[in-house]
A and B are shown apart, each in its own frame.
Chain A
Amino acid sequence: DAKTTQPNSMESNEEEPVHLPCNHSTISGTDYIHWYRQLPSQGPEYVIHGLTSNVNNRMASLAIAEDRKSSTLILHRATLRDAAVYYCILRGLSGNTGKLIFGQGTTLQVKP
């Protein structure tokens, strides 16, 4: 199973950008990189995903390294509501695409 590695925790100041890294050195050519976040006492929610090119949506941006072995979720201006656990996972299109492993994620603290 393709796995990802993330720092356990990160801190940010409110209204500053946040860069959350994820390493996935065993990524295969058809694996998409997905990011989810889990607010306290809630179920995880989808944030963004991409394959090769950088992606933007209303929540965040995803920067994917050229060799695709790492990616970075970018929150452009952190707010207190962005304090959550952020998970990076790989989801492929071929083979066994069902075994989606989340790991521990990165706990983001946002300081006012």
Chain B
Amino acid sequence: NAGVTQTPKFQVLKTGQSMTLQCAQDMNHEYMSWYRQDPGMGLRLIHYSVGAGITDQGEVPNGYNVSRSTTEDFPLRLLSAAPSQTSVYFCASSYSGFRRGVSGELFFGEGSRLTVL
């Protein structure tokens, strides 16, 4: 198993550009989520999904869009990048406790470092 795969690992954008951070998992996990981590700070939840076709907002959703058309993939879109979105982005996945009656552990990707100039 590859686990949770994030691409790209590094990206530099100019203000106003758009891009998509990719996240894929091969563990058949229902739950997927995106976090951002600013330097010296903790993780903040952007968006999450408890299954294909279902998404919801986290703590800091503004400026980001997500969709979940398949179980495996959960892309994060920045429609018009801003310097405030410079951060490290982590994708995570797990079995859904609500659906399976277990409190599944989260598996994280290695992160995508985004710089917006």
Instruction: Using CB atoms and an 8 Å cutoff, list the residues of chain A in contact with chain B.
Output: 32, 34, 36, 42-46, 49, 51, 85, 87, 91-105
Contact = CB atoms under 8 A, between A and B. Distances in A.
B41 A104 contact: yes
Interface in B13-69: 31, 33, 35, 41-45, 48-50, 56, 58-59
B98 A44 contact: no
Given A87-B42, A93-B97, A94-B98, A49 B105 contact: yes
Given A44-B43, A85-B42, A101 B106 contact: no
Nearest to A102: B43
B103 A32 contact: yes
Contacts of B104: 91
B42 A102 contact: yes
Interface size class of B (residues with CB under 8 A): 20 to 34
B115 to A, nearest CB: 16
Contacts of B109: 43
B56 A99 contact: yes
A49 B56 CA distance: 25
A104 B42 contact: yes
A43 to B, nearest CB: 4
A101 B92 CA distance: 13
A94 to B, nearest CB: 7
Interface of B: 31, 33, 35, 41-45, 48-50, 56, 58-59, 90, 92, 96-98, 101-111
Nearest to A85: B42
Contact of B97 (A87, A91, A104): A91
Given A97-B98, A101-B45, A43 B110 contact: yes
B50 A49 contact: no
Given A32-B97, A103-B42, A104-B41, A93 B108 contact: no
A93 B104 CA distance: 10
Nearest to A46: B105
B48 A101 contact: no
Contacts of B48: 98-100
